[in-house]
Structure 1
Amino acid sequence: MKKSIRISLKISLLALSLCGASTALYAESEKSTTISPWAYKQLNKAEQLIAKQEYAKARTRLEKVLAEVKKNSYAQAIALRSLGAVYALENKHQKATSLLEQALATQALNAEQQQEALLNLGQLYMAIEHYKNAVAILEPWLVKQPDTTNTQVRVLLANAYAQLKQYRKALPYIEHVIKHAKKPKASWLQLNLALYYELENYPQAAIVLRRLISLYPDNKDYWQQLTSIYQQLQQYERALTINNLAYNKGFLASEPEIIQLFNLFLYNKQPYQAASLLARELDAGRVKSTAKNWELLASAWTTAREYTHAINALEQASTLHDKGDLYLQLGRIHVEQEKWQDAVVAIKKALKKGGLKQTEEAYILLGISYFESGQLKSARSAFDNAMKYAKTRKSAQQWLKFISSDVSS
């Protein structure tokens, strides 16, 4: 939110500084009796120096005027205001603020100049982050103005209240500006969005983000934020739609972004689409070829009942994994598919690689695979190993008994 304040102030203060001196001189011509010819000449020269960006010389001339004119006079007010404009142009906002306060304190400015100076002072308070003072100046100023838009002031007030963490008070000002604009600036909508975030009003935040996307469709951040909002609202189907559109537009290029879309497909019970995405990105190299990622792919293919693809993915994962667990998982799939010899090969690799969390299960599955492929001696050896584990002892005994009875018969 601070960024949007800075952007608006840069424009506002520049306009204030450039117009300050000339406004003063036009006023002087209407009140020639209140400013001496000498003071008028000095102010006119100061204005010319400001136009040439010779600020140091302009300051010197204005300070000379201030040393000569009467206290609380119209000439003093104009000189103070012009000097404040010079300091504002030099981004010395604290000094500019002090000078403009002094100019207003003279009470010598006419009504129009008074309102103009108050507006400038409100802007300067924003620049020096005195937000309470800015609100105290700009709100009454806005009430007195006949113009129903006053875009700049409303944006300043919205920013001031946002900085004061009074988000509900900020909303009407920024929403008024957006409502009356043909094409709202991105910074206005971003502030509107930030306010809804702060208020945890995520449905309204989603509305603002959809408008940002419609106006600025090439901004990747808006797509990602809208995806996050829909996830926050547990509207996962919408989150998937937006995230997939962002992917198709080429906005999702990093591995975490692609994995997020992969997970959204899975959450929305679209495992085939999830697996197709991940397989494509593994081949393209945008997702790293790691055991973890190949295991994710294998799981998605398995859920989609694409077992051939799942087996291929698990084989890739198994070769990259430092333990045998993935070979064991591959063995399970082969057992389910009744591919007994393939199961034997995978499970033996799992046992050889070691580090298994379920070694006992590996021996049981290996024994079953040997038995089903007619290798009874190897089956007995596998079940004998399974007997060593409490969890599989009973099952192994039953298999050994079954093998013995089957052979004797």
Structure 2
Amino acid sequence: MRNYIHQGLKVVLIILGLLTVIPAQAADEKVPPISPWLYKQLTKAEKLISSQAYPQARKKLEKIIPELKNKSYEQALALRSLASVYALENNYIRAAKLLEQCLATQTLPEQQQQQALLNLGQLYIASEQYQKAIKVLQPWVQKNPKSVDQQILVLLANAYTQLKQYRTALPYIEQAIKLSKKPRESWFQLNLALHYELGNYSAAARILKKLVANYPDKKAYWLQLATVYQQLSQFKQALIIQDLAYKKGYLQTETQILQLFNLYIYNKQPYQAANLLSKELDSQRVKKSSAHWELLANAWTNAREYKQAITALEKASALNKKGRLYLQLARIHVEQEHWHNAIKAINKALSKGELKNPGEAYILLGMSLYETKQLSAAKSAFQKARKYKKTRKSATQWLNYMENSNTQA
């Protein structure tokens, strides 16, 4: 949140830096006179400030203040000028204390009083005294509704945000955006952050859509918008945004690419998912691991592209310590009636071992051997499958079928 506050400081420095010997007043407002001597001293101080000779200006003002009558209008002017010097030197705490002393004289005409109160509120923000800033700025906004500009509303929103009063901060930043013909990017960012804190993801999505439209080259907004859509379970919209971000070159990491892959799968677009992952495995932005080859195989399988699925699953199987993936490969070969290939895959699966259901492997092996006329070996495979509870019934049926076939022959 510090970025928003520092942008607000520019206003502080502009207001406090543009000093005049006698501040402007309303036409019907009477201003107490000041002595020619003080006029001359303040003019010299102003010239030093204009030339950025802040230490010299500070010393001059600190020298003349003790010579002025206590709680006088002249003292108030000098204190106000000194406060501006400290603000320009980034000593906001000291500047705020001097402005407090200025206001404590109670000698400023109403217009100057209101301007000084506004400056004080800004200095409190700058010095991270947020509760004090609110106590000054909120009454000021209520008293000067026609004079309130967007920046003051933003400062109030920041103060409440820093105090974690997010719901109170929200109307101020939204009013500032509404009143501005061209709101600043940082205002939208603060508005977005508040909605995040409050869990208002629908509102966050609306703001992010504006940010994406206004700043299309900033990839963070694209990624945030896709994430918000997922939080809202609007997975189709999330896919559209992620896909556009990918085409713009904003998805660079393995995690981001796999998120897009998963969105394709969730939205029942396995062919697009497989094409994406295949391309990124080739480019090595996605690691060529067993798990990733398995993801690709499953996507090709769902897309009914079995040739590509087999190729991917062979690579996944070779990299996996267990036999599970070779068994999965065997299932595809059996479905495609590629019996010899199925036999090879099943033997590799059994060789690697650690299968959750070894009986299934022996059933598939027996079927494949039977189809290739290797009847003795098929019978042996079914006998092994009969040893496992889950496949005992199926293995027995196959053995009975083979025995009846031989008897009839």
**TM superposition score category, shorter chain reference:** over 0.9
Structure 1 unaligned regions, length at least 5: none
Offset at residue 87 of structure 1 (A): 1.4
Kept in 2, the 8 Å contact 1:265–1:271? The answer is: yes
- 1:102-117 map, 5 Å: 102-117=101-116
Structure 2 counterpart of 1:45: 44
Letter in 2 for 1:152: Q
Match of 1:381 in 2: 380
Cα distance in 2 for residues equivalent to 1:233 and 1:249? 24
| Correspondence 1:235 to 2:217 | no
**Matched position secondary structure for 1:280:** helix
Matching of residue 369 in structure 1 with residue 396 in structure 2: no
Kept in 2, the 8 Å contact 1:118–1:141? The answer is yes
- CA distance in 2 between partners of 1:177 and 1:31 (Å): 33
Q: In structure 1, what is the equivalent of residue 335 of structure 2? A: 336
Contact map agreement 2:31 2:109 (CA 8 A) in 1: no
The yes-or-no answer on 1:6 pairing with 2:6 is yes
In the alignment, the residues of structure 1 paired with residue 145 and residue 320 of structure 2 have an alpha-carbon distance, to the nearest angstrom, of 73
Question: Does 1:88 find its partner at 2:87?
Answer: yes
Query: How much does 1:256 deviate?
Result: 1.0
Contact 1:202 1:233 in 2 (8 A): yes
Q: Which residue of the partner structure matches residue 154 of structure 2?
A: 155
Matches of 1:180 and 1:296 in 2, distance apart? 51
What is the deviation of 1:72?
0.5
2:227 alignment partner AA: S
Q: Could you tell me how far 1:25 is from its partner in structure 2? A: 4.4
* 1:153-197 CA distance string (max 9 Å, x none): 111112222223333332332222222323221111111112222
The structure 1 segments of at least 4 consecutive aligned residues displaced by more than 4 Å after TM superposition are 25-28, 30-34
* Higher mean C-alpha deviation, range 326-335 or range 160-169: 160-169
Say if 1:331 and 1:344, in contact at 8 Å, map to a contact too.
yes
Q: Measured at CA, do residues 14 and 307 of structure 1 come closer, stay the same or move farther in structure 2, by a change above 3 Å?
A: same
Q: CA 1:368 to 1:219, structure 2 compared with 1: closer, same or farther past 3 Å?
A: same
Deviation, structure 1 residue 31: 9.3
For 2:95 and 2:274, locate their aligned partners in 1 and report how far apart those are by CA, in whole Å.
63
Deviation string for 1:262-308 (max 9, x for gaps)? Answer: 11111111111111111121122221111111111111111111111
Structure 2 CA distance for partners of 1:111 and 1:151, relative to 1, 3 Å: same
What is the one-letter code of the residue matched to 1:65? I
Contact persistence 1:25–1:43 (CA under 8 A): no
What is the CA RMSD across the aligned residues, in angstroms? 2.2
| Residues 72 and 107 in structure 2, CA contact (< 8 A), matched pair in contact too | yes
Task: Classify 1:149/1:243 alpha carbon distance in 2 versus 1 (closer, same or farther; 3 Å).
Answer: farther
Q: Distance in 1 between matches of 2:40 and 2:406?
A: 123
Q: How does 1:114-133 map to 2 (within 5 A)?
A: 114-133=113-132
Which stretch has the larger CA shift, 148-157 or 91-100? 148-157
Question: 2:74 matched to 1:79?
Answer: no
Aligned residues: 405
Residue 228 of structure 1, CA deviation: 1.6
What code does the residue aligned with 1:162 have? T
Cα deviation digits, residues 372-394 of structure 1 (max 9, x gap): 11111221232233233232233
* SS of alignment partner, residue 373 of structure 2: coil
Paired AA for residue 349 in structure 1: K
Query: Within 5 Å, which residues of 2 pair with 1:315-326?
Result: 315-326=314-325
Aligned to 2:20: 23
Confirm whether residue 136 of structure 1 aligns to residue 135 of structure 2: yes
Question: In the alignment, what sits opposite 1:399?
Answer: 398
Deviation at residue 406 of structure 1 after TM alignment: 2.3
Deviations for 1:188-239, whole angstroms, at most 9, x for unmatched residues? Answer: 1111112222222222221111111111111111111111221122111111
Q: Is 1:288 matched up with 2:307?
A: no
Within the alignment, does 1:215 sit opposite 2:214 as a pair?
A: yes
Alignment deviations for residues 17-61 of structure 1 (CA, whole Å, 9 cap, x no partner):
312xx3244569x99984333333332222222223222222211
Taking the aligned partners of 1:149 and 1:378, their CA distance within structure 2 comes to 91
Structure 2 Cα separation of the partners of residues 174 and 219 of structure 1: 22
Q: Tell me whether 138-147 or 215-224 shows the greater mean CA deviation.
A: 138-147
Aligned AA for 2:346?
I
Tell whether 2:389 aligns with 1:390: yes
Matched to 2:4, the amino acid is S
1:340-398 deviation digits (Å, cap 9, x = unpaired): 11100111111122232222221221111111111112212322332332322333233
Report what 1:253 is aligned to.
252
Tell me if the contact between 1:149 and 1:177 (Cα under 8 Å) persists in the aligned partners. no
Report if the CA contact (8 A) 1:360-1:389 is conserved.
yes
Q: Percent identity?
A: 58
Q: Which secondary structure state, in structure 2, belongs to the residue aligned with residue 403 of structure 1?
A: helix
Query: Which residue of the partner structure matches residue 172 of structure 1?
Result: 171
Are the equivalent residues in 1 in contact too, given 2:156–2:172 (CA < 8 A)?
yes
CA deviation after TM superposition for structure 1 residue 130, in Å: 2.1
Residue equivalent to 1:313: 312
Amino acid paired to 2:170: L
Match of 1:202 in 2: 201
Q: CA deviation at 1:126?
A: 0.9
The answer to which of 322-331 and 53-62 deviates more is 53-62
Q: Paired residue for 1:297? A: 296
Distance 2:143 2:31 in 1: 28
CA distance in 2 between partners of 1:209 and 1:33 (Å)? 52
> What amino acid is the match of 1:47?
E
Q: Within 2, Cα distance between the matches of 1:70 and 1:351? A: 100
Instruction: Tell me, yes or no, if the aligned pair for 1:2 and 1:163 is still in contact at 8 Å.
Output: no
| Structure 1 counterpart of 2:35 | 36
Question: Using the alignment, how far apart are the partners of 2:388 and 2:400 within structure 1?
Answer: 17
Q: TM-score, normalised by structure 2?
A: 0.93
Of residues 124-133 and 146-155 in structure 1, the stretch that sits farther from structure 2 once superposed is 146-155
SS at 1:23 equivalent: coil
Q: Which moved more, 1:163-172 or 1:211-220?
A: 163-172
| Counterpart Cα distance in 1 of 2:111 and 2:135 | 19
